[in-house]
Structure 1
């Protein structure tokens, strides 16, 4: 029987951090480099985040190892609610998986940082996606999908932490884990 763990276990166990895209990867790197997360690079498997997202890829690349006496916990950072991720029975018994949602899209952090959250909500009634809003309305173009853009935009860690907190306060489904939940208590 699997035991139920809380996110506090991320402080002591090994972590495999799987990011959906370049933006998520950049944000996690910024937070890791500034020691803002419950886990650090030292307990991050390979000392870096990965873009591998499929369960079979994670199993082959990371879970065929002996982490004794510790365990490896998979932390998935993505916006999709429909993406399937199921470890095979052998791995599912030994490794917990946490899904961290950036719903509707990670670009919401840019919209909040630009002070345009209310304007976006008004315009989003027409079903415009946050990435499209950033590209066209905020005139950020395709750079919003670039790792370097995110690293440069959030060079000020305090600004990033502020928009993560604001996003958490305004998100509709508080039962879903978000990047906010991965922050150390002093940064919440």
Structure 2
């Protein structure tokens, strides 16, 4: 199989496996294709999970199948566990970028490779890094479209005035992630 072909599920779509893992920020739905981790979804209650899997299946042309033993998913669960217990600072997982393209993909790739654990970057600065000075608002849109939060750390993007900015997983989740990474102090009570 060359790099442009994808394993098929027999109905023309690519095989998508999923699993849910409990974390320090609640349950996360993880989905993977043969290419790599393709989606991470916050607050994966049964209702959220059903809607997310339906959308994912429509986008990728196949019905996702629960398979926590799929190698990428099993490794993602292991690495996320280590991250949330303080034993891992970055992720070494194959990523399937097929749910995002263009400017958004460029921004997220720069974020994944150029903003390490325990640091933050402003929306405008990140825009400048991908050759789009003045594109801070577009970076905000890219963060909102991130199909791989936590692993591609959109929680590390903040406002230039020191504000925390928005977050698809909710501001409390963003605070918890930034606290875990030592960017914000532990709450006093």
TM range (shorter): under 0.3
TM-score (norm 2): 0.27
Flag the structure with higher helix content.
Answer: 1
TM-score (norm 1): 0.27
- Where relative contact order (Cα < 8 A, 6+ residues apart) is larger, the structure is 1
